[in-house]
Amino acid sequence: MSEDIKKKKSLGRGLEALLGEMNEDVLNDELNQVKLGEVAPVNEIYVSSFQPRKDFDEDAIKSLAASIREKGVLQPLIVRKTSKGYELIAGERRLRASKIAGLTEVPVIIKDFSDGEVLEIALVENLLRENLSAIEEAEAYQKLMDEFSHTQEKVASVVGKSRSYIANTLRLLTLPDEIKSHITSGKLTAGHARCLVGLENACFLAEKIIKEELSVRQVEEIVAKQKESKTQNIDKDEKIAKKEINSDIVDIEKSLNKKLGLRIKITQSKQGGGKVVLQYASTAELDMIIGILDQKKQVDLGVQNTVFKDAEEQPQSKNEKFSIKFVE
């Protein structure tokens, strides 16, 4: 099986399905109609707004024009009739070359398609010929989703790709315009570009790739090392922050030990809370702790039962971070 046949079979519904699942007899009927005079004036054919391809190889079109002058247009253009004339669905290269060749009319197959089908056909045709840049391909997928409510699964079915391939291609649209321009011009491949998605220094790496002519594998290694280094820096910052917190807790323990004459242990949980443990070595120390807490409770109750004329007269805690709650 040739590569072209394999490619066509892999493109999901493909052109054959989108054109009404043409079998050989139907296709022959269509071509017979063309031979019998199914033509359209070149000046009445206009390019569809759903055409995903934006850039064309002018040299290749001139070469095609030379062939058309000699042999004519061998493959008809696919169009649909509108109030403005004939909207081109497939065959823009042939139309451009025909104009250069000086043709006034070209053979066409007229089909009745919805807007969504027009975009699908234009997209599949270009994918068959590998004419689209990765950005044009991604924009076409996005247009199918935005304007015709296609899901990624539906787009994947239309073009014969996996859903993950569609998702990864769409992610290219999140890259800076500078990088997308490099992809469209061919300076960067889609493989290079996928490595740059989500990176803060994507533009810097893009220039490095172009300047040093790095392979995709080399870029993958650079990005992997960069992410590893970033993870290590985050871990280092977390350790420093944890060390600072532990240092603060030790200072608080020492201060409370000195003020209360008790051995106090403070532990902190990962969620930000923690617990304070009052340690005692004898029942005498336990009685002392209870006495201190009872005294604190009586002071708090006295404050609660006192009526203050002015809010400023109310006693303020010296340490607003800590409070003791008594539960009956």
| Predicted local distance difference test score (pLDDT) of residue 279 | 76
92 among known catalytic residues: yes
Q: Give CB contacts under 8 A, 24+ apart, made by 307-316.
A: none
Cα within 13 Å of Cα(116), Cβ side: 11
Cα-Cα-Cα-Cα dihedral sign, residues 23, 25, 28, 29: negative
| Predicted local distance difference test score (pLDDT) of residue 58 | 86
In angstroms, rounded to a whole number, what is the distance separating the alpha carbons of residues 158 and 11? Answer: 7
Contact in structure between 57 and 96 (CB atoms under 8 Å): no
Measured CA distances, 156 to 135, 164, 168, 305 (Å): 16, 9, 12, 73
Q: How many residues does the chain have?
A: 328
**Both tokens assigned to 215:** 């392979």
Q: Catalytic: which of 92, 117, 120, 125?
A: 92
Cα-Cα-Cα-Cα dihedral sign, residues 151, 157, 159, 163: positive
**Alpha carbon of residue 309 to chain centroid:** 63
In angstroms, rounded to a whole number, what is the distance separating the alpha carbons of residues 95 and 106? Answer: 8
| Pairing, β 274-279 against β 263-268 | antiparallel
Task: Going residue by residue through the chain, which has 328 residues, state the pLDDT in tens, using 9 for 90 and above.
Answer: 444 444 444 444 444 444 444 444 444 554 444 444 588 999 999 988 887 777 788 888 899 999 999 888 888 998 999 889 999 988 888 999 999 999 999 999 888 888 888 888 877 777 766 668 889 889 889 988 887 788 999 888 888 889 999 999 999 999 999 999 999 888 999 999 999 998 889 999 999 999 999 999 999 998 888 887 766 655 565 665 565 556 777 777 777 777 766 777 777 776 667 787 777 777 777 777 777 777 766 655 554 554 545 545 544 444 444 444 433 3
| Predicted local distance difference test score (pLDDT) of residue 163 | 93
In angstroms, rounded to a whole number, what is the distance separating the alpha carbons of residues 18 and 159? Answer: 11
Rg of the chain over Cα atoms, rounded to whole angstroms, equals 37
Q: Helix, strand, coil proportions of the chain in percent (round to 5)?
A: 60, 10, 30
| Predicted local distance difference test score (pLDDT) of residue 218 | 93
| Predicted local distance difference test score (pLDDT) of residue 126 | 72
Q: What is the pTM of this model?
A: 0.53
Q: Which domains are delineated in the chain?
A: 3-133 (3.90.1530.30), 262-303 (no CATH)
